[in-house]
Every structure is written in structure tokens, then in C-alpha cells.
Amino acid sequence: MIPTQQDISEEIAERSRAYVEAERTQHHPARDYSPYRSSLLRHPEQPLVTVQDPEAVELSGPVFGITDVTELDTDLTRQHTGEPLGERITVTGRVLNRDGRPVRGQLVEIWQANASGRYAHLRDQHPAPLDPNFTGVGRCLTDGDGGYRFTTIKPGAYPWRNHTNAWRPAHIHFSLFGTAFTQRLVTQMYFPGDPLFAYDPILQSVTDAAARSRLVAAYEHDLSVPEWSLGYRWDIVLDGPAATWIEEGR
Ligand SMILES: [Fe+2]
């Protein structure tokens, strides 16, 4: 039977209670976080296999060079002949290590739904309009200060089939490439004040409230450009106690 939102919300509350009672800080979600149903089916149950020669994957994995990334890749509103519909936003921040030092020259990739909450992807067939002027992918390299910056439009919330009436809060997917493909990290950025936070088992799978709050960007008025775009700031900390939650198993 397909679970209802109430079923899922009860499970979320139960896992949250168990986390608080355990009094053990855990920034990463459990791999078998049951309210997020498909995680039950696809999380590893066996110990990971140690690869004897981890560098071998670099021979067949994706690579990029500095010249592959152009200025235009950071602006998702200029990839087509017309402008996409939606609320234009600037998303910026810094990639930092545990000591707060900038991680420079880092490939940051993003992908997102359009303003109506639909991905330009064959797998997304829900009845919201596609936007011919929006593909929803961008990338940039961090600068000398670890900074990244994108111009895009605010993605819409979208339904998914985890349970009846399941809706994802608006979010942007982020990937950080590292210095080798095996180091790639993937996470999601959310927008402040989204009413769907409490209902979303993916966000709630991060049971630590402080770690969860680090996935939410801050609206910053000084970043808003007059007559042009609204500004959001979101820093990504790669490890240590203030680390941004990273999806495992990718
Ligand atoms: Fe998504």
C-alpha cells in the first residue's frame, strides 16, 4: 500500500526522537532511512569492496580541463535564445575545508528543475510545463577565495512518488568534483522558509537539526541586484564538524 504523508511524517518523527535520545552527533543520514523509501532498496548492505588500484578509474572516468568551463556556463538564464520564466536569482558562496580555508579551482556543477518544478529530463513526465529556454544545468570553477557564483531562476517544488502527496521543497543539486572522479561529492541546497521542509523525508533524513540548517541558503539583500535578481548565499564546508551533508554512495 502506498503510504500517506501522515505515515511518513510519523516515521520521520520517530527517527528524529531516536536521534535526540541517542545523544550522539551524526551529520550524515542513515543509509537505510526508511521514510525515504527508495533508500531502503538501494543502500549497500555489504561492506564496500576495496579497490586495489584506485587510480585505474581515472583512466576511464570523466575529466575536465580549465578551458572546458566558460563564463557562460555560470548563467543558466542565457543558454537559449530567449529568457526562462521564473524568479531570477543569484546563488553564490564559498567552498571551504574544515579549517575555513578556501578550496580553489574546484569544479562546481549544479542541476535543477525549472520555475514550474519540472526537469528537462525524459524521466520527469509530471504535468508541469517545460520551459524551452531553460535546461537547468550549470558549472563553474571556484576562484582564489573558494567562491562560486551562478545566475539562474528559482526552481519550483515538484511532486515525487515516495508516498501520496509527496512534494520536494525547492532545491538545487550541487556536485563538487574534487581532484579526481573518486572524490566527487553531491548534495542539495534549499531555500529559506520553505513550508515543505517538515514533510520531506530527504531533507529530514539529516536528523541533526544544525546539519540540516546548513543545507539552507540565506537570503542576502545586498546580493540582490536592483531590477534584476534576488541573492542567496550558501557556503559548502567539505569536512569537519561544520560539514555540509553530502549524499553517500555516489
Ligand atoms: Fe531534485
Write down the catalytic residue from 94, 118, 168, 212.
168
| pLDDT (0 to 100) of residue 250 | 47
pLDDT tens digit sequence for 18-27: 999 999 998 8
Q: Which helix (H) or strand (E) holds 31?
A: none
Mean pLDDT, rounded, for 172-182: 87
Mean pLDDT, rounded, for 210-228: 97
Is there a catalytic annotation at residue 168?
yes
Is there a catalytic annotation at residue 221?
no
Q: How much of the chain, in percent, has pLDDT values that exceed 90? A: 73
The DSSP bridge partners found for residue 102 are 96
pLDDT tens digit sequence for 70-111: 989 999 999 999 999 999 999 999 999 988 999 999 999 999
Distance from residue 171's CA to the centre of ligand 1 (Å): 6
Distance from residue 50's CA to the centre of ligand 1 (Å): 30
In whole angstroms, what is the distance from residue 181 CA to residue 174 CA? Answer: 15
| pLDDT (0 to 100) of residue 182 | 75
Domains and CATH numbers, the chain: 5-37+66-237 (2.60.130.10)
Query: Minimal CA–CA distance to 8: which of 209, 198, 211, 213?
Result: 198
pLDDT tens digit sequence for 134-156: 999 999 999 999 999 999 999 99
| pLDDT (0 to 100) of residue 60 | 79
Asked if 52 and 59 touch (Cβ cutoff 8 Å), the reply is: no
Asked if 235 and 96 touch (Cβ cutoff 8 Å), the reply is: yes
Is there a catalytic annotation at residue 27?
no
Is there a catalytic annotation at residue 158?
yes
Phi, psi angles (nearest 5°) of residue 64: -145, 155
| pLDDT (0 to 100) of residue 21 | 96
Q: Give the count of beta carbons closer than 10 Å to the beta carbon of residue 93.
A: 22
The DSSP result for 86-148, as a single string, is S-EEEEEEEEE-TTS-B-TT-EEEEE---TTS--SSTT--SSS---TT---EEEEE--TTSEE
Asked if 215 and 235 touch (Cβ cutoff 8 Å), the reply is: no
Q: Which pLDDT band, with edges at 50, 70 and 90, does 249 fall under?
A: low
Is there a catalytic annotation at residue 171?
yes
| pLDDT (0 to 100) of residue 172 | 98
Range list of β-strands (E), the chain: 88-96, 107-111, 137-141, 147-153, 158-160, 166-168, 171-176, 185-190, 218-219, 230-233, 236-237
In whole angstroms, what is the distance from residue 160 CA to residue 38 CA? Answer: 12
Asked if 223 and 6 touch (Cβ cutoff 8 Å), the reply is: no
Distance from residue 98's CA to the centre of ligand 1 (Å): 27
